[in-house]
A = this chain, B = another copy of it.
Amino acid sequence: MTAETTGPANPPATAGGNSPVQLLEKHRDTLDQALEAIRSRAYWSPHPEHPKAYGAASGKEGSLGAEEGQAAFDALRGTRFELPGQPGTDGWTATESSPYGLGMGIEYPHPDPDRLLPAMRLAMPAWREAGPEARAAVCLEILARISARTHEFAHAVMHTSGQAFMMAFQAGGPHAQDRGMEAVAYAYVEQVRTPDAADWSKPQGKRDPLNLSKQFTAVGRGISLLIGCNTFPTWNGYPGLFASLATGNPVLVKPHPRAVLPLALTVRIAREVLHEAGFDPNLVALAAEREGEGLAKELAVRPEVRIIDYTGSTAFGEWLETHARQAQVYTEKAGVNTVVIDSTDDYRGMLGNLAFSLSLYSGQMCTTPQNLLIPRDGISTDDGDKSYDEVVADLAGAVGKLLGDDARANALLGAIVNPQVGERIDAAGSLGEVALASRSVTNPDFPGATVRTPVIIKLESAKPDAEAVYLSECFGPVSFAVAVESTPDAVALLRHTVREKGAMTVGAYTTSPDMERLIEDACLEECAQLSLNLTGGVYVNQTAAFSDFHGSGGNPAANAALVDGAFVSNRFRTVEVRRPA
């Protein structure tokens, strides 16, 4: 035996072999691939989209198959969701009700911020000292454990957001995990662009040089508050959660009261991984609120809270920006998304693509198109010229056909997330001429679900009352086919809409290079993300992590984009210590 083989095979490990060093070894390749992906922005994802890729057959440790995931979810219902070791629990709260009518009855710990926040702050120094690599490795292990339980998360997302199962599986599972990993990659790069140490030697002519030894440490800002949303609790939550954790901040997760479970599961997994890796699990904690409590408002202005991530209404987003002055505030608010329809060389493809975009998750996405701007004299297509009325009628027909089969409609629409959306659908008919009426669909598996097909309303841009209608966000499956004078007029209206109301997405169809340039220039100048001539299996309301930016951060719909340098760079600061060499 030589000296090499008598030593320990691995560096000292905590119980379970999940020391930071071991986790880094385990996830180094994935991190490197993620770093390459955000540089090239080519397609990449380590998280499979297909439900069959999970479970024992996947060969991945702890991976739950379809039945196991369902069972795990069912086992949570009607129980108390324990978070071992989370301090400052002040009673229990249950606020969820499935849009599918399923009984949830899960009780979560309600926090006493005066006890919880100080405990979270105590966790910071060791997390800071671990450094960016170890923090990234721990974050990637959290994501790997979440990924293994994607089937369980799919049910949790489905029964809180109302998404159909397949969408809850993909958007709430792999796509959300991708966005979280993207944030980890950006956070890592941002922290290591400054070296840990530098020797500085400044020449002084004939005298000796001045020599200093410098140390640079990335330090978190303080407690990061995640205010979750109802419709995409994981997808919209993971970027901020992982960006803050990876940059050295404890993260307090305040879920939407109707969508607690997906984030509560996330918190529990994060705490387990942190503990196993030798860190204080209070680096991630849950703050579930009581009905109507307004806990976010209370937490947002606590001096310990230095970062806030929020997705939701414009009103509360602006409240946060105005009042939480002690924090960096990242908000995604409401917007009005536009599609400019000028011309197409694939009329069928265009109609099919738009019909899918309007129908997916009943239009309850921040990225769903609302206003379809169509010249009132019609458009040219590969199927001949089409009048405004024809385009609208054909689109209504395409939606009707897409959702004609109830099983398919259920699979695509999911359930209406809350009664307010249903009320907006019912009220839409009074806003203009109905081109497509909404119908109710029965879900045989969940008779309690409210399932509604989209409404399309015809509006005249020139009519004085119309602008107030189409320039307000009408969240849900309501869209407006707005007749405009010409494509340049449509572009002018697009500019006005983005500037005044914001937009997460813009779509456009045109075969004219001049009109394409006009639309592109408008999006560049008004700072909106543009999808051109989508006719196949990519939709304007979907973005892919590592490649697409979600929002621009430069118009009123959101002050940040997922994910770029600006989303991570101000979550930490670099502290320098210099001394004579």
Interface residues of A (CB under 8 A from B): 38-43, 124-125, 128, 189-190, 193-195, 198-204, 210, 212, 214, 216-217, 219, 221, 321-322, 325, 520-521, 523-525, 527-538, 544, 547-549, 552-554, 561, 564-566, 569-570, 573-580
Contacts and interface: CB of A to CB of B under 8 A. Distances in A.
Contact of A565 (B199, B536, B569, B577): B569
B577 A523 contact: yes
Nearest to A306: B554
A566 B549 CA distance: 18
17 contacts: A40-B195, A43-B202, A193-B565, A198-B547, A202-B544, A210-B538, A219-B525, A322-B325, A520-B577, A529-B576, A534-B580, A549-B574, A553-B570, A554-B573, A561-B574, A566-B566, A570-B570
A573 B553 contact: yes
Nearest to A195: B41
A465 to B, nearest CB: 27
A216 B216 CA distance: 32
A443 to B, nearest CB: 28
Given A43-B200, A553-B573, 4 more contacts: A204-B537, A530-B578, A561-B574, A566-B570
Contact of A536 (B203, B548, B580): B580
A174 to B, nearest CB: 12
Contact of A210 (B525, B537, B548): B537
> In the complex this chain forms, how many copies of it are found?
2
A565 B200 contact: no
A553 B575 CA distance: 10
Contacts of A38: 193
Contacts of A570: 553, 566, 570
Contact of A521 (B125, B325, B527, B534): B125
A472 to B, nearest CB: 21
Contacts of A190: 565
A573 B527 contact: yes
A530 B575 contact: yes
A575 B200 contact: no
Contacts of A577: 520, 523, 530-532
Nearest to A205: B50
Nearest to A190: B565
Contacts of A41: 194-195, 198, 200, 214, 216
B528 A578 contact: no
Instruction: Tell which of A40, A202, A321, A520 has the most Cβ of chain B within 10 Å.
Output: A202
A42 B547 contact: no
Nearest to A549: B576
A48 to B, nearest CB: 11
Contact of A532 (B204, B520, B578): B578
Contacts of A578: 530-532, 538, 548
A193 B565 CA distance: 9
Given A524-B128, A548-B214, A42 B200 contact: yes
Contacts of A565: 190, 193, 565, 569
